[in-house]
Chains A and B, each alone.
Chain A
Amino acid sequence: MNSIRLGAVLFALLAMPAFAAETGSVIRTDGIKVEPFRDAKTIATLTVGDKVEIVKKKGGWLQIKSPKGNGWVHMLNVRKGGMRKDSGDIGGLLGMASGRAGTGKVVGTTGIRGLDEVELQSAKYNETELNLVESYAISRAEAQMFAIQGKLVARKFDYLPSPEVSPE
């Protein structure tokens, strides 16, 4: 029964035009660059509210198409959102897929459930689970090996300043 419903949900998800090009709107003025890096040539300027079609992401850059030109802009200057629907169709589907009905109540008996404030307040200490998670601890040296296996190389970067002028 549950698997039938899950199948229906998956089918519905796959059948949606969700794989159509994603769109977004520009939230900060930005130049369209021919390549995804700072010093690349700028071919046009997008202003707040311009709509773009998103082709792909690469690091902090999005390849976009727009009436003003095609190229690369800063990912964080574009808010994805062309597919937003107030009806929340996608949210509803996700809700069902995760075992929730629209009420926010947990349904189903899969053992997966939500975690709300009431549950957290009434939570009882579980030493067994705590010991279990502690048994998975990785040493600094082991993590270093894991990084090497993934060809991850540590680099130096300063922390970013706060954009706020916040008097403490």
Chain B
Amino acid sequence: MKAIMKYLSVTVLMLACSTGWSFDFEEEFKKVIKDGVQKKIEEKSDAATSSALLGLVGISQEEEITIGRQIAGNLLGASALIKDQSLQIYVNNVGRWVASQSERPDLTWHFGVIESSDVNAFAAPGGYIFLTRGLYSLLQNEAELAGVLGHEIGHVIRKHHLKILQQSSLVDLGGKLISRRIGGNDKVQKLIGNGAEIVARSLDKNAEFEADRIAVVLAARAGYDAFALPEVLQQIGHFAKDDGSVALLFKTHPHPDDRLEKLGLVMNDRLEDVKGKTLVARFYRIKP
């Protein structure tokens, strides 16, 4: 049978490991961040909430964004953006509206559709979210897009990837900093490993189920049909297991049937009578 979907994906962040760092490194890291890559910082109004959230992993929002930005830049090095400005702005509108329903409404969110025939989506810390042309092409309406983006937004707001980085040897710096030039911020790159490999890492299954639950609620809050994400999952579940375009997705996510079953356990009773829009007519179709 064909089945499974994965789609949402992985992201990783790497911020978390400040415990292992020497004091000197921390100082240096802060300096790097100040004059380094990061240009976008959350608006002040979100500062209190974000500080509280970030306190859990000991990473400031500024650091989170710096890390996410490096990961996003690497991912875009592997697959560039589709050169269709109307598409990208449309996706940013939908994503920003959904993200506005989350507890981090004032983060500077970024969304992009990248040139890959794979079916997948990725989230990086700080609000960088990407989906592939392959996944976008499967979507039938705006509510489905909202659901897919909502899953990735869920990873960002719950800092799933940051937590992984915290536990990972990727962040075990031991003090030595590399100096070779690899583009972007060398020291941050050292934290996240090679290129954008961090987005190819699997999260805990429960983190994926949690992101699904967040996605359907954010979609419902935004006025969309909450059952659009399940529709996408069903479709991905119909892919053959050996189809290369879903290989990475299936490897890093629970089977779509499992995700649908988990959603059914909590959605049926609570969202069954909730009406929402699908906005088929407004959905932006990619030119082939």
Contacts and interface: CB of A to CB of B under 8 A. Distances in A.
B168 interface: no
B248 A117 contact: yes
Main secondary structure of the interface of A (DSSP, over half): loop
A4 to B, nearest CB: 15
A60 B227 CA distance: 5
A98 B224 contact: no
Interface string A86-113: 1010111011001110111110000111
A116 B35 CA distance: 33
A44 to B, nearest CB: 18
Which residue of B238, B264, B282 has the most chain A CB atoms within 10 A of its CB atom? B264
A76 B230 contact: yes
Contacts of B282: 150
A125 interface: yes
A97 to B, nearest CB: 9
B270 interface: yes
Interface string B259-271: 0111111111011
Interface of B: 1-3, 39-40, 69-70, 72-81, 85, 88-89, 92-97, 100-101, 105-106, 108-112, 114-118, 120, 128, 132-134, 142, 182-184, 189, 193-197, 199-200, 206, 209-210, 213-214, 216-217, 220-227, 230-231, 234, 237-245, 247-248, 257, 260-268, 270-277, 279, 282
Which 5 A-B pairs give the minimum distances between C-beta atoms? A91-B240, A104-B244, A76-B264, A88-B240, A125-B183
Interface of A: 27-28, 37-38, 57, 59-61, 74-77, 79-81, 84-86, 88, 90-92, 94-95, 98-100, 102-106, 111-117, 119-127, 129-130, 132-134, 136-140, 142-144, 146-147, 150-164, 166
